[in-house]
Amino acid sequence: MSLTPVLTELGQKIRIHQSSCNKDYSCALGDCPSFVSVQIKPGTGLKKKTLPTLPPAEVPMPRQMAKAGDGYRIIGPGIGGTGVVTINALLATAAWIDGLCVATLDQTGTAQKGGAVVSHLLLSERPIEAPAKVNAANADLIMGFDLLGVAHQSNLSTARAEHTVAVVNTDVAPTIDTIRNRAPFGGPEKMFELVNSVTNRGRNIFVDANRLAEALFGSHMAVNIFLTGVAYQGGLIPISLESMEQAIELNGVDIERNRQAFSWGRKYYEDAAWVNSFLAAETPVQPSLDRVAELREYQNAAYAQSYVDYLDKIAEPALREVVAKYLYKLMTYKDEYEVARLLTKPEFERQALGMWASPESISYNLHPPLLRRFGVHKKLKLGSWFRTPLLALKRLKGLRGTPLDIFGYAAHRTLERSMIEWYRKLIDQVSANLTPDNLPLALEIAVLPDQIRGYEKIKEQNIAKVKQAAAEKLQIFQNTQAGVPVPR
């Protein structure tokens, strides 16, 4: 569950969400999907971001606060391993310091990491005789740490229209199906509407807490406490500020970071625009991908020029833009030379090492196709010494596609290489008959290589599907030229 889809200029890619990896990395003894491991000085960990301190005077006290009275119920649907249970314990402790009666329940099932967790908290000014579990229509506050969890019927049923307030993290955590099937990101709007339809729509708060807290603190562990700060400042947690701060201290873990994350959540409630502009000023602008320069590095200047020359032939700007993206994708298929180049790229090495407080070296987890054919079914762990052979391999890129390219004889590589010409011919046929009317269909055809993903067998299956889809769409495209009606 530490694999997260991320949208890049090259389409949707999978990234390892480092701060949520298993703490002891015991999983990495198996077939960790990462291509590299970073060895670090024992006892050290991820580099911590310098805390973006807010002076205490910056955030005023909440203007009004809910009352615990005879019972104030909070339900917190979230994801295991992100501190949901900790937040519940923290609120319970703070309420107890305030002298309130408290009952808690954490439904964790078998989820330790990545699964559904639901925390229940009941605060009261009088001794509690009711169960801690928040039941049908009796939630006062839904702390929506996980949007999918909030939108689950069993949790929505705890809400009462016009009464329950929802404070929801709008981030959509990818499910295992999203990751496995590489399904595109789904829009969360339907879930917002579902939440609004059963709660006090006018008071609900939707916050992109993952984006904000991770950008501010560099760790997903700050997200839930940030969201708690938002709910607190909205007057939805009937506990004094002093007790909240004392409970954070008693929790004893990352005290200053948690205190700051809570305060930044409060600040966000007060002045979201200020927090957003603070972050915008802090975040470096990513340079956009220079495809021509990359192609030069991939092979040589002539290879890059052939890309430029082909694009120059396409007059229609929208089509040229799409072809620029997918021709580049096909021209940079990841063979042995390219993998060696990418793994030893200075920017990549800087980034991989720069995440850690005291990095020592990089080692590699690879599964070369050549060895796969000899029955090696697991990744090989190759130490930092392997950087030298990788650098040598990278320099041999000039052999790519020549008779001396021993890797290029593999059927898979031949297929990958042939896709470049296949795509050019496909686009030639499309652009030769392009009109404003058939442009949308032309773009649908041009974007098909987006579906070519994965390695080896999976990639080959995807290529077969893409070729089939291209043939069908091209047929329709040509029929429209001949005046044959488009099938619906």
Q: Which residues bind ligand SF4 (CB under 6 A)?
A: 2, 16, 21-22, 25, 27-28, 32-34
Q: How far is the CB of 82 from ligand SF4 (least distance, A)?
A: 14
Report the residue number, 29 or 57, with the smaller CB distance to ligand SF4.
29
Report the residue number, 71 or 114, with the smaller CB distance to ligand SF4.
114
Q: How far is the CB of 190 from ligand SF4 (least distance, A)?
A: 30
The token pair at 354 is 């720069």
Phi and psi of 75, rounded to 5°?
Answer: -115, 135
Q: How far is the CB of 263 from ligand SF4 (least distance, A)?
A: 30
Report the residue number, 32 or 227, with the smaller CB distance to ligand SF4.
32
Report the residue number, 34 or 478, with the smaller CB distance to ligand SF4.
34
Q: For residue 8, what are the β-bridge partners?
A: 11
Report the residue number, 79 or 236, with the smaller CB distance to ligand SF4.
79
CB atoms < 10 A from the CB of 211, how many? 15
Whether 299 and 397 have beta carbons less than 8 Å apart is answered as yes
Which of 217, 259, 254, 222 minimizes the C-alpha distance to 242?
259
The token pair at 422 is 């296949």
Euclidean distance between CA atoms 212 and 222, whole angstroms: 10
Give the CA distances from residue 259 to residues 61, 64, 113, 309, 405, in Å, rounded to whole numbers and listed in that order: 15, 21, 24, 57, 58
Which of 151, 140, 143, 123 minimizes the C-alpha distance to 227?
143
Q: How far is the CB of 16 from ligand SF4 (least distance, A)?
A: 5
Q: How far is the CB of 376 from ligand SF4 (least distance, A)?
A: 19
Report the residue number, 102 or 223, with the smaller CB distance to ligand SF4.
223
Tokens 């790519």 correspond to 400
Euclidean distance between CA atoms 180 and 82, whole angstroms: 22
Residue type, 326: Y
Q: How far is the CB of 216 from ligand SF4 (least distance, A)?
A: 23
Whether 78 and 227 have beta carbons less than 8 Å apart is answered as no
Q: How far is the CB of 18 from ligand SF4 (least distance, A)?
A: 7
Q: How far is the CB of 316 from ligand SF4 (least distance, A)?
A: 42
Report the residue number, 274 or 455, with the smaller CB distance to ligand SF4.
455
Report the residue number, 27 or 376, with the smaller CB distance to ligand SF4.
27
Euclidean distance between CA atoms 100 and 245, whole angstroms: 16
Question: Which residues, 6+ apart, have CB-to-CB distance to 139 below 8 Å?
Answer: 73, 74, 75, 158, 159, 160, 164
